[in-house]
Chains A and B, each alone.
Chain A
Amino acid sequence: MSEHETETSSRIDGQARLGTLATLRRGLELSPELRTGLLLTLVLAVVATIGRVVIPFVVQQTTDNGIQAEGGTDVDYVVRAIALAAVVVLFTSLAQYAVNVRLFTAAESGLATLRLKAFRHIHDLSVLTQSTERRGALVSRVTSDVDTISMFVQFGGLMLLVSSAQIVLATILMVVYSPLLALVVYLCFVPLTLLVRRFQPILGRAYGTVRERVGDLLGSIGESIVGATTIRAYGVEDRTAARIDEAIDAHRTSAIRAQVRSVMAFVSGQTFAGITTAVVLVVGTVLAARGQLTLGQLLGFLFLVNLFTQPVLMATEILNEMQNAIAGWRRVIGVIDTPADVSDPGEDGVVLARGPITVDFQDVSFAYPGGGRVLRDVDLRIEPHTRVAVVGQTGSGKTTLAKLLTRLMDPVEGVVRLDGVDLREVSFASLRQRVVLVPQEGFLFDEDLAENIRFGRPDATDADLRLAVTELGLDSWVDGLPHGLQTQVGQRGESLSAGERQLVAIARAYLADPDLLVLDEATSAVDPATEVRVQRALEGLTTGRTSVAIAHRLSTAEAADVVVVVDAGRIVELGHHTELVGRGGVYSRMHASWAAQQAGV
């Protein structure tokens, strides 16, 4: 009950301010597959590039030594050169194929790993952190953000490798042909290098904005899907549409803006490439006129310039595209690197033996980030085999208590202990086996009833399911459903009523068979007769176990061994129902009001 937690801005570090290189490094670290066999791929890429260099070489040889050979055209020479070139092209293509396949495999494997890591980490984040981001935006971090990277690591990575190899080869050939002209080419490209460096951060920011807008877009579209009922009930289709349109337009504008910047970056590269060609032809003509260069060499060199500028342009283009990928990568890395504030001690964690459980709250306080205390100095000991009811006003801190008890959150101060062990030291696997929380809105998956109940214990047999349902006294309800346990519950369980969904959630927890069962308003939408029935069944279940139930309906408190009364974040009363009723405090007033309501019958 977090009256004060109002920090709604995402606490997931979406725009981790990692630099480009740091992002790439972290990205490679997270997807080691991207690096496997990279050396061989690189070698193959160099081989593939040779094919592209063969053409100008043959052209030069053909014009100089073949067509313009001294003493007339040497046809045989040309034929031999071409035949050789054809063979090289064949091998090149094979190498290129190998490069493609290797890169695709590496890229997709690496990104699948990244997706999985991000997905898993989102589940490892605390409920509190998860809820600061809209679902659509969270989904974008494992879908479209990753897809953005995929385009770069498949094509971009390949092109960048091939281009670099080509630049190196073209440079060597240019130097061999004419060191002076090669120098001219390089001088012409110096300003471009500077420009590219300037453009990179600008593009980075532009693409970063696009990724954010995609998150917003998915968030607002998600609203129209998840909020379908409310939107219709209030007739606010137009307003919702306007809000979506805003997000659509913001995304469109940011995407166009980023593209325009990228075009400008590309075009400036192209300008330098064109000017380079012109300068080379001018300088080359002077050199040729002085006899320092043959005409064939000059023309061959022009091909080389083309061969050099193309990969340079390609590389600038890829660097632009890379900023797009980096923007997506940052968001994925951002979520993975958001510290799991409530983390599993994992291997080092204590594994608790099963059996009756003792719970200890010692000086526990809790505050939501940026908010005041919602629980203050709570001391509470729950003995094994006790049935505890927690009651109090809305917003008094009951749910917080339940979340601390099940370690969905950690206390700001103090310690919660389970069988004497600090909860933070208990391995999650052991904790979740022993302690289960049934929240007020237990989510149902788009599956049949049986599968949803089985969620509590995946290895449960059909007979186990039936037994659980029968023991809870829900068999008549289940039998009344169109297909019994095989009834499909629909998206989010929406084919069932809210009360029915709660019954499924309880059956799920019952099947999970925990040592400590925590019920947070778990039957609030269930009719009283069913509730009483389920309550009795749970009492049967909870004999010999510990249970904590948070409830507004004081019938739960009447049945409990111990009633804990919470008020404004503190435990104000503690004891058995009959005892508390007689005390004339908060509880007796609450009970009087409850009894008055029942009196109407």
Chain B
Amino acid sequence: MPSPAATAPVPRPVGDRAVLRRGLRVIWGGMVAQRRPVMVAVVGSVLWAAATVATAWAIGWLTDEVVEPSVRAREVETAGLWMIFGVLVAVLVVNVLGVILRRVFATVAGFNLQADYRRRVTRQYLRLPLSWHHAHPSGQLLSNAHADIEATWQVFNPLPMAIGVIFMLLIAGTMMILVDPLLAILGLLVFPGLFAVNLVFQRVMSPRVTRAQQLRAEVAEVAHESFEAGLVVKAMGREDQETERFRVRTHQLRDSLILVGRTRGVFEPVIEAIPTLGTLAVLGVGTWQVSRGALDAADVVQMAYLFSILAFPVRALGWVLAEIPRSVVGHDRVQHVLGAHGGMSFGSTELARTARPAESALTDVSYAHPGEERPTIREVTLDVARGSTVALVGPTGSGKSTLTNLALRLVDADSGSVRIDGAEARQLARGEIPASASLVAQQTFMFDDSVRGNITLGEEADDASVWESLRIAQADDFVRSLPDGLDTVIGERGGSLSGGQRQRIALARAIWRTPRLLILDDATSAVDPSVEQAILAGLREARGGMTVLVVAYRMATILLADEVVYLERGQVVDRGSHADLVARCRGYLDLVQAYSREAAERAAVTRQEEVDR
């Protein structure tokens, strides 16, 4: 169904004229970054080029020195035959060595660059704020980190060969000039011709490749979103609609790739025909020269051979030039990520390393989601005193989760101040808040890791402490029944666990850290009441050193709190003890009494029915 309306804009292609220049700059940047493998590859390529030209030269030379005299003499000496074999094999060895160095090290350079850019791009994903993530489809980000980086550096495959070809052309050109300047000029005219054709090709190709690459990302976006929605798609029987949505993108991609193919289809025969025509011209002019007595037959043959040998490698230049538009497009798309600003800045303040509970204070905090005018949070002041438990209550969509994110500085407030232990959150060094405070979010996220890994998140831990936190989270029983216990791999989607079980593992993740500030964002919504009671009891026990801010609807949870803060439409309406709020806050009363009132009404109706009967 939906079209990716909120898809973040990706830079449009630049002017065609600039593509070659920018492409070369991208390539140069890559070469500099990977200078050592690139240098080895270039040396290999030069060896290969020299050996390739030497083959032509050797055959000509052997023809003159060994073959022709033998044919004339109608007899052949063994030494001559060994000479032929020896010379050709020697050239071959150099050639093979060159090819190995060229291709292996070109590959190394190319994949090193890909790996390097993947590291940089994923570092950005980890660094950029959540708002940036919300603005970019996951599929697009995956595409940036994979297909686009691949597109950028694919050019490194033909590159060293092309460099070798340039070298080869220099040698061949010199040789041709030595043999016959007229023929040489004729021959060398072919190459500017090739280059000109390439330029035209690129100009036509660039926008088409750009579109194809964009569509590639869109196909990935639709696939990612659709697979993520798998359950809903199935439950609603919308497979056909989803397939149709994917089909539209896939067919657009297909058409755009066919267009790219057609362009290549025109270009390739042309670029292949040019050297062939050049060879024919050399033969014609050569014959004329021979008939004038200016040249002997063997020279013409050698020249023609040189051409036929060059004809294929010269296409490597074409490949590089043909890859350039893709490379530039990929690079632009990757730069869009690498150039994104707005990461959070951190200060250098450190929180005291104590075991005592932390205090959290929000003062006059306002926050609007990016792109929205109306603030989600309006001038909220919320103090959670050291060691206290505060319940945050409010209707759905009143801003409770946003407030918890603000308190832990997962997002920065637009105005007002957020403090932890009196220190301004923005001034704190990176990692300070997570070291002291833990959030159990409403929606649990499981890493593709074992139960233990999901709780310790890679930190050193003894099993006893992990089991203890699982026990408090009421998760020890079911974890024990898993086939590999703590080592059972959960999988990214926690597919094998129920919502309640995942929530409890997420809870254990927070508890294990013995945070000084624990924020629970409706973290037990999928857990049944009796289990929840047990969890809360366990927490109360373990809470000695914890300040707790809990988003809750359930009475049991609310009753645990020292203070209740009632939120409506992003504003604090009232605060105080539960009894106070019940007594004076209408909205709060409606909310917490909903069930019992409902039950009472039902009971009344039932009684009425009985009376009627």
Contacts and interface: CB of A to CB of B under 8 A. Distances in A.
B239 A491 contact: no
B204 interface: no
A530 B398 CA distance: 12
B32 interface: no
B146 A221 contact: yes
A81 to B, nearest CB: 8
A354 interface: no
Interface string B398-430: 001110010010100000000000000000001
Contacts of B269: 48, 92-94, 96-97, 100
Interface string A204-233: 000000000010011111111111111111
Given A3-B478, A130-B227, A112 B253 contact: yes
B99 A267 contact: yes
Given A62-B287, A130-B227, A134-B448, A499 B396 contact: yes
Interface in A38-64: 48, 51-52, 55-56, 58-59, 62-63
Interface stretch (A19-27, A65-73, A181-189): A65-73
Contact of B67 (A68, A72, A295): A295
Nearest to B599: A558
Interface stretch (B167-175, B190-198, B494-502): B494-502
Contact of A234 (B103, B284, B509, B553): B509
Given A134-B492, A219-B492, 11 more contacts: A62-B283, A75-B288, A139-B142, A232-B410, A278-B89, A285-B70, A392-B528, A446-B6, A491-B133, A495-B134, A525-B522
Interface string B177-194: 000000000000000000
Contacts of B74: 289-291
A235 interface: yes
A365 interface: no
Interface in B469-507: 478, 481-484, 488-493, 495-501
Given A289-B71, A303-B308, A490 B134 contact: yes
B280 A267 contact: no
A236 interface: yes
28 contacts: A59-B308, A86-B280, A112-B250, A112-B253, A116-B246, A131-B496, A135-B227, A135-B493, A139-B227, A221-B141, A223-B448, A232-B410, A233-B434, A241-B123, A252-B115, A255-B107, A259-B107, A263-B104, A270-B95, A284-B67, A289-B73, A295-B63, A408-B235, A455-B232, A495-B134, A497-B442, A500-B396, A598-B596
Given A278-B89, A393-B528, A225 B257 contact: no
B290 A221 contact: no
B490 A555 contact: no
A132 interface: yes
Contacts of B10: none
Contacts of A52: 276
A239 B445 contact: no
B141 to A, nearest CB: 5
Contact of B265 (A100, A227, A277): A100
B555 A600 contact: yes
Interface in A279-334: 279, 281-282, 284-286, 288-291, 295, 298-299, 302-303, 306, 310
Contacts of A443: 228-229, 231-232
A181 B600 CA distance: 104
A503 B308 CA distance: 72
A132 B495 contact: yes
Given A119-B246, A234-B434, A104 B478 contact: no
B548 to A, nearest CB: 16
A273 to B, nearest CB: 9
Interface string B251-288: 10110011011101110111011001101100110111
A443 B118 CA distance: 29
Contacts of A127: 230-231, 234
Interface stretch (A191-199, A432-440, A462-470): A432-440
A267 B96 contact: yes
Contacts of B226: 119, 123
A285 B76 contact: yes
A117 to B, nearest CB: 10
Contacts of B270: 93
A427 to B, nearest CB: 10
Contacts of B301: 59, 63, 299
B261 A154 contact: yes
A65 to B, nearest CB: 11
B445 A8 contact: no
B612 interface: no
Nearest to A122: B227
B216 A528 contact: no
Interface stretch (A242-250, A380-388, A410-418): A242-250
Contact of A445 (B95, B122, B229, B288): B229
A188 to B, nearest CB: 13
Nearest to B68: A295
A508 to B, nearest CB: 7
Of A101, A222, A298, A392, the most chain B CB neighbours within 10 A belong to A222
Nearest to B221: A446
Closest 10 CB pairs of A and B: A432-B237, A235-B434, A104-B261, A131-B495, A100-B265, A447-B2, A274-B92, A499-B396, A394-B500, A528-B594
Given A394-B501, A495-B134, A455 B236 contact: yes
B227 A274 contact: no
B447 interface: yes
A243 B78 CA distance: 64
B308 A497 contact: no
A114 to B, nearest CB: 10
A345 to B, nearest CB: 14
A429 B284 contact: no
B434 A601 contact: no
Given A288-B70, A446-B6, A530-B396, A494 B262 contact: no
A56 to B, nearest CB: 8
